[in-house]
Structure 1
Amino acid sequence: MKYTITVPASTANLGSGFDTFGMALALHDVVEVEVTGSGLAVEVIDAGAGDMSGVPTDESHLVVRALRRACRYLDISVPGIVLRCHNAIPHSRGLGSSAAAVVAGVAAGYALAGKDIDGSALQLAAEFEGHADNAAASLLGGFVVAWQSGSTYHAERLVPHSAIRPVVAIPEVRSATEQTRGLLPDRVPHRDAAFAASRSALAVHAVTARPDLLFAATEDRLHQDYREPAYPASVRLMRALRSRGVAAVISGAGPTVLALTTTGILPDGVDVAGFEVIELPVDLVGVRLCVS
């Protein structure tokens, strides 16, 4: 049998919900998995104009690692695998490319085991990154609130308001999550923590019921300003959009800028040179599996 797994991109944080909020976006990686008699063959087909250069095609490939991890958990063995990865999610841009790869591998493992994806899939996927926001969004679709209890990851899926039309501005430059996390302080002032708590609570209401509150709900004091040295052009664009009343944030670890609009377009007069601007609807489904 051949299994085709389709996984959406994701955006995380949404400004105020650092390591907590995620949203699936309608940009998809497609992974084909076929069981063979022996060996491993990995083919990477890049829809992202060279993003896949240097991506391994052996056991260290992220989809393969996640698939192997799921197979061990599900106690199945696979003699050989042919893997074809059709990638559309740009790498290292803050759109959840690594989480999508992990979710694809985990979903493939469940498919090979003949099991439905359950709550343990989130645990397997989140363990790769140490937080569940992107993985939960790619798994479940929609808007997710993720949290961790000890070593256990959890997420709840919510339906975003139908008026929300996300727009992303994707730069050519990349960033590494490890690098941008290194820019964050170990401690923040109590007033900033209280500010973050109020805005993240408001964001749940804004995303699901009151899009008119998104501007205030996406205000952040925990991470974006600290990360400005990693991608100053992205932060400048985010601030320019916010000065026009747009609920703009840095997507995940950056450097993509996410605008939560109700129009699907950015206002005139904002300089987007160096960015590819795309409207990406919310993906309400999450990971899909097709058997052929």
Structure 2
Amino acid sequence: MRIRVPATSANIGPGFDSCGVAVSCYLYVEVLNSSTRWQVDHSYGLSVPSDQDNLIVQTALKIAPKLLPQHIKVTSDIPLTRGLGSSSSAIVAGIELANRLGQLNLSESAKVKLATQIEGHPDNVAPAICGDFVVASYQGEKVDYVKHYFPDCELIAFIPSKELATSKSRDVLPHELTYQQAVAASSVANVMVAALVKGDLVTAGQLMEQDQFHEKFRGPLVPHLAKIRQISHEQGGYGCYLSGAGPTVIILAPEHKTDKIVPLLRELDNKAAVEIFHIDREGVQVF
């Protein structure tokens, strides 16, 4: 059995902790054979556990505590702590591992709820499960989500070599907004989502750059954001936003613009990776 989970790009500007899209970069979990203990083969190094303390296994055992130990192999193209949902993909993989090995027959909505409870918010885990563009909310124990087709475009990702821990990125956020600030911030998010549903990437791109929830507070931690946004404006990108908690920045652009944008991004930092992603429409898959 082989499980495939897509990376995700969350927030999309003002859709803070609620909007996310699945992208064509993947985590794979292959079940090799049963074992006397949990064994996880991977290439992450000593910083990532190779036994029952691995996040994938921890998640699976949380869902199905009686699972028998397995020898599994994990490979991934998703960079760690870069704002592309690496931890969410591991959580989703763990849930699917428990679902298949434990024969739980979990529904999509049950998977989304479990993943959200473990992760704390649905913006990454929901699209990793469902695929495509997902808007979700998590209030108390209730998770509501809607999947919709994300308009066709190129997602050009600028992925710095240095990581940015989510905890550090969250520490700079304010604890509260005024009523007026909250109304303004939510109205921007609402119009952006409406534009995406309509397929209007021009309007959506303009709105995703007007976020008032997190990007202006995280800006000092991600100094390249302003430079990349300038490149996007000058070269005809639809819009540019900080992916998740950063430091990855994504430009949404028409396909014919990538040849101009990519070289300029590479000139910014020769240690950074520049990748072109497409929308993953399927979410988690088992082969």
Task: Determine the C-alpha separation between the residues in 2 that align with 1:99 and 1:158.
Answer: 20
1:12 pairs with one of 1, 10, 13: 10
1:142 pairs with one of 98, 120, 132: 132
Q: Which residue of 2 aligns with 1:63?
A: 56
User: Cα RMSD (Å) of the superposition?
Assistant: 1.9
**Shift of residue 188, structure 1, vs aligned partner:** 2.3
Aligned residues of 1:132 and 1:154 also touching (Cα < 8 A): no
Q: Which residue of 1 aligns with 2:160?
A: 171
Q: Which residue of 1 aligns with 2:81?
A: 92
Task: Name the SS of the counterpart of 1:214 in structure 2.
Answer: helix
**Map of 1:115-130 to 2, 5 A cutoff?**
115-118=104-107, 119-130=109-120
Task: Name the SS of the counterpart of 2:268 in structure 1.
Answer: coil
Aligned residues of 2:191 and 2:207 also touching (Cα < 8 A): yes
**Shift of residue 82, structure 1, vs aligned partner:** 0.8
**Shift of residue 111, structure 1, vs aligned partner:** 0.6
Aligned residues of 1:122 and 1:154 also touching (Cα < 8 A): no
State the aligned residue count. 277
**Shift of residue 53, structure 1, vs aligned partner:** 4.8
Task: Name the SS of the counterpart of 1:226 in structure 2.
Answer: helix
Aligned residues of 1:170 and 1:277 also touching (Cα < 8 A): yes
Task: Determine the C-alpha separation between the residues in 1 that align with 2:268 and 2:206.
Answer: 23
Tell me: CA distance 1:190–1:240, structure 2 relative to 1, closer, same or farther (3 Å). farther
Task: Determine the C-alpha separation between the residues in 1 that align with 2:243 and 2:7.
Answer: 11
**Map of 1:1-292 to 2, 5 A cutoff?**
3-45=1-43, 52-72=45-65, 77-118=66-107, 119-162=109-152, 164-208=153-197, 209-218=199-208, 219-233=210-224, 235-241=225-231, 243-244=233-234, 246=237, 247-263=239-255, 265=258, 267=261, 269=264, 271-273=267-269, 274-290=271-287
Which AA in structure 1 matches 2:10? A
Aligned residues of 2:14 and 2:211 also touching (Cα < 8 A): yes
Gaps in structure 2 of 5+ consecutive residues? none
- Is 57-66 or 26-35 further displaced after alignment? 26-35
Task: Determine the C-alpha separation between the residues in 2 that align with 1:37 and 1:61.
Answer: 16
Deviations 1:106-158 (A, max 9, x none): 00111112243412211221122210110001000000001012123232111
Task: Determine the C-alpha separation between the residues in 2 that align with 1:117 and 1:82.
Answer: 23
Task: Determine the C-alpha separation between the residues in 1 that align with 2:178 and 2:268.
Answer: 33
- Is 167-176 or 190-199 further displaced after alignment? 190-199
Aligned residues of 1:23 and 1:142 also touching (Cα < 8 A): yes
Task: Determine the C-alpha separation between the residues in 1 that align with 2:228 and 2:264.
Answer: 14
**Shift of residue 224, structure 1, vs aligned partner:** 0.8
Which AA in structure 2 matches 1:255? P
- Compute the TM-score of the two structures, normalised by the length of structure 2: 0.90
- Is 33-42 or 153-162 further displaced after alignment? 33-42
Aligned residues of 1:13 and 1:20 also touching (Cα < 8 A): yes
Task: Name the SS of the counterpart of 1:65 in structure 2.
Answer: helix
Task: Determine the C-alpha separation between the residues in 1 that align with 2:205 and 2:29.
Answer: 36
Runs (4+) of structure 1 exceeding 6 A deviation are none
**Shift of residue 237, structure 1, vs aligned partner:** 3.1
**Shift of residue 205, structure 1, vs aligned partner:** 2.5
